[in-house]
Amino acid sequence: MSKLFNKARLIGLAVAALIFVVDQYIKSLMLGPLALREKGTIELIPFFDLTWAQNFGVSLGMFEATSPEMRWGLVAVTALIAFIVFIWMMREKAFGDILGLSMILGGALGNIRDRFNLGYVVDYADLHIGTFRPFLIFNLADAAITIGVLIILARAFFLRDKDDNEPAVETATET
């Protein structure tokens, strides 16, 4: 097996593909058999409903695309970001980082496909406590991206890449 496609990276690619496929399948259920667009809301349990939402922006609805040019601009920018995440994942050595990046990649691809095909991202997951909604309506791709980012941040903040036995590099020089 080549160095580029080691076991960890292949698992990462499989995780990204799985997230993409499951995300698109769930969204097809929302658009098709469940007819969520027409129903608006399907109450499931006291704190979680399926609620139709079209997200024309990116994260948290920011940078909303109000014209075809802006839509395709968002597709291009998010595709570029997904490509950068892919390159980063293929260069990464630590499995934890690869896993986080694969979640971001799979989710990003799912949302990019929505925006490319529909002009918006299909959101449906509505977590709430009574009328209090701690999150905007989201989808599986959004959840995967968020969890992936949290994994990357946690690993960056709490894990050290350097071995504690390595000697410290001196910052001062003698003159």
Tens digits of residue pLDDT in 18-66:
999 999 999 999 999 999 999 999 999 999 999 999 999 876 566 677 7
In the set 97, 114, 123, 126, the catalytic residue is 123
Q: Which amino acid is at 116?
A: F
pLDDT at 60: 58
174 is a domain residue = no
170 is a domain residue = no
Burial class of residue 11 (count of CB atoms within 10 Å of its CB; 0-12, 13-18, 19+):
middle
172 is a domain residue = no
pLDDT at 61: 60
In order of 58, 108, 132, 164, the CA distances from 62 in angstroms are 5, 16, 21, 42
> Among this protein's residues, is 142 annotated catalytic?
yes
Q: Where do we find the tokens 């014209």? A: 67
pLDDT at 23: 98
94 is a domain residue = yes
58 is a domain residue = yes
Half-sphere exposure of 108 (CA within 13 A, CB side): 21
List the chain pLDDT tens, one digit each, 175 residues: 567 679 999 999 999 999 999 999 999 999 999 999 999 999 999 999 999 999 998 765 666 777 889 899 999 999 999 999 999 999 999 999 999 999 999 999 999 999 999 999 999 999 999 888 888 899 999 999 999 999 999 999 988 654 444 444 444 544 4
112 is a domain residue = yes
The DSSP 8-state label assigned to residue 138 in this structure reads B
130 is a domain residue = yes
Number of domains present in the structure of the chain: 1
> Among this protein's residues, is 123 annotated catalytic?
yes
Question: What's the domain range around 94?
Answer: 10-158
171 is a domain residue = no
pLDDT at 165: 47
pLDDT at 11: 96
First to last CA, the chain: 50
In the set 97, 142, 161, 163, the catalytic residue is 142
